[in-house]
Amino acid sequence: MGDYNLIKLQKKVKKELDTNRFQHTLGVMFTASSLAMCYGADLEKAQVAGLLHDCAKCIPNDKKIRMCKERGVEISKVEMSSPFLLHSRLGAILAQEKYGVEDQEILSAIRWHTTGRPNMTTLEKIIFTADYIEPMRFKAANLPEVRKLAFHDLNLTVCRILEDTLHYLDSGNGEIDPMSRSAFRYYHNLFFETDDKGNAITT
């Protein structure tokens, strides 16, 4: 047995989420554990992070802002106008406060699951990817391809997800957190030639 009671955590988080979000959560938990098997990461940490990654998602936006302020979290302009972005930061805080998770690897995987960031840990990449490809998802671009790629090359998958997400947001579907661009630049540079500003050389 590991350090966490997954059944108990599951029951607890279920109360905080609507039906669809809970089903998504289970999807992320199982997908994250499959990716952890594939990449030799800790299965239990992957499950706990998957289970709790959206634990703050169903809190109303005004309450999210209030809870962040109460905890001294600085809220950026983008987060103020798209408060749903706060659910990852608040989620990491609540995972610790309310669910008793002290493991920094798990907490940072929750913290960065929405935007990603440059140079992510394996667990961060696993949760970021599982959130996008879990079986209940259907809207995102190129899902069958990304799902397959996820079990072959995790860095390339992260790059691909960031690219598709930025493209989706760029076409007017939401505000972009600057961290997503930094993350994309970082992962794009791992695979493709770029100029000194990080722009792709498209010759």
Task: Give the interface with Fe ion as residue ranges (CB under 5 A).
Answer: 54, 131
Judged by CB, which is closer to Fe ion: 131, or 177? 131
N residues, the chain: 203
**Structure tokens given for 27:** 């999807």
Nearest to 135 by CA among 9, 27, 45, 17: 27
Residue 31 beta carbon to Fe ion: minimum distance, rounded to whole angstroms: 11
Is the CB of residue 52 less than 8 Å from the CB of residue 95? yes
142: left (phi over 0), alpha (psi -120 to 50) or beta: left
CB of 57 to Fe ion, least distance (A): 6
Question: Considering the complex, what minimum distance in angstroms separates the CB of residue 115 from Fe ion?
Answer: 10
- Nearer Cβ to Fe ion, position 34 or 189? 34
Residue 174 backbone class (left: φ over 0; alpha: ψ -120 to 50; beta: rest): left
The CB-of-131 to Fe ion minimum distance in angstroms stands at 4
Pick from 87, 33, 46, 44: nearest CA to 63: 87
Q: Measured from the CB atom, is 169 or 189 closer to Fe ion?
A: 169
Choose between 54 and 177: whose C-beta lies nearer to Fe ion. Answer: 54
The dihedrals phi and psi of 194, each to the nearest 5 degrees, come to -135, 160
Q: Which is nearer to Fe ion, 53 or 160 (CB)?
A: 53
Q: Which is nearer to Fe ion, 122 or 129 (CB)?
A: 129
Question: What tokens were used for 29?
Answer: 């938990």
| CB contact at 8 A, 21 and 58 | yes
In whole angstroms, how close is the CB of 176 to Fe ion at the nearest point? Answer: 16
Q: How far is the CB of 79 from Fe ion (least distance, A)?
A: 14
How far, in Å, CA of 78 to CA of 200, rounded?
25
Q: How far are the Cα atoms of 7, 24, 91 from residue 10, in angstroms, in the given order?
A: 5, 13, 15
